[in-house]
């Protein structure tokens, strides 16, 4: 269908991709292989995930041409200084077995470690990281650059400092997390919002509203949540899954459309639900 691709700044990005956080070893490789077989053409990984080699092996072993896969990775916390950026990206390319990245992101703001409620001094200047990323674009090793987990202020600063357009900001985006201000900013400035954890780490599965709407459309609660995410203008989603059934279901969301009233009904910000979903994701798997 026409809504399975989102275009921003002339860049075409599949609306539903595969997230690979916490996927390791053969499970990761099988998940990526199965996703590509099922029609996925968007795969997201990160240096910090420790699975780039498996992701790359899956892409190479599939029948899908590399140029047809939109592949993203992210810089880890120790690879944000000039020199370290370039070196780490070349190492990522080697692990992934590819000559280029479709998208390279800064994984977290340089002044704010993961899950820290406060800014901390000592990280390399954002300008330094972005300048190095821009050099990789000039070399042809990276096609597009973006950021992840940036708020409006940091995103605005990144856009000002980067010569290459900031194509996306990858953030947590699901019915329980209010990102309306950020989404409005992204729309005004032609920045794609990439939604990770669109299922709130499985927290949407027992949601009564999503289940009710799922019955109306012949879909699961998870499918309704993914549809809710990508039905927002300028949003793509990268849910994680491993089983064939779940992978197939997550991409089977283009044959129905939620009404405006249903979209509003689904959106119920809740820090408790968000925290509960995240806490569940940290349990051993």
Q: Which residues are bridge partners to 73 per DSSP? A: 104
Burial of 200 (0-12, 13-18, 19+ CB in 10 A): buried
The H-or-E segment that residue 25 falls in is: helix 25-38
Dihedrals φ, ψ of 196, to 5°? Answer: -95, 160
Non-local (6+) Cβ contacts of 226 within 8 A are: 16, 198, 199, 237, 239, 250, 253
Judge whether 40 counts as a catalytic residue.
no
Non-local (6+) Cβ contacts of 281 within 8 A are: 22, 197, 201, 202
Buried b or exposed e, range 160-193, using 16+ CB within 10 angstroms: ebbebbbbbbbbbbbbbbebeebbebbbeeebbb
Residue 104 · residue 64 · CB < 8 Å:
no
- In this structure, the strands spanning 166-172 and 42-44 are unpaired
From CA 259, how far away is CA 263, in angstroms rounded?
6
Catalytic residues: 49
């Amino acid at each position: 269908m026409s809504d399975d691709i989102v275009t921003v700044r002339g860049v075409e990005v599949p609306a539903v991709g595969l997230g690979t956080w916490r996927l390791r070893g053969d499970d990761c490789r099988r998940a990526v292989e199965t996703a590509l077989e099922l029609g996925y053409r968007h795969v997201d990984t990160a240096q910090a995930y420790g699975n780039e080699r498996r992701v790359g092996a899956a892409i190479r072993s599939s029948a899908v041409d590399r140029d047809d896969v939109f592949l993203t990775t992210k810089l880890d916390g120790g690879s944000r200084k000039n020199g370290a950026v370039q070196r780490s990206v070349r190492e990522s390319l080697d692990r992934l077995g590819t000559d280029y990245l479709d998208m390279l992101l800064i994984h977290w703001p340089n002044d704010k470690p993961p899950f820290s409620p406060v800014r901390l001094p000592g990280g390399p200047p954002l300008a330094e990281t972005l300048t190095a990323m821009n050099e990789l674009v000039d070399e042809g090793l990276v096609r597009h650059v973006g950021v992840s987990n940036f708020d409006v202020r940091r995103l605005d600063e990144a856009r000002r400092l980067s010569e290459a357009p900031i194509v996306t900001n990858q953030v947590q985006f699901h019915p329980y997390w209010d990102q309306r201000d950020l989404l409005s900013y992204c729309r005004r400035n032609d920045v794609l919002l990439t939604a990770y954890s669109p299922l709130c780490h499985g927290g949407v599965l027992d949601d009564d509203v999503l289940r009710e709407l799922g019955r109306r459309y012949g879909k699961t609660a998870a499918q309704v949540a993914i549809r809710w995410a990508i039905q927002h203008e300028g949003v793509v989603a990268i849910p994680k899954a491993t089983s064939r059934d779940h992978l197939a279901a997550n991409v089977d969301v283009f044959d129905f459309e939620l009404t405006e009233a249903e979209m509003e009904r689904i959106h119920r910000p809740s820090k408790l639900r968000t925290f509960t979903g995240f806490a569940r994701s940290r349990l051993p798997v």
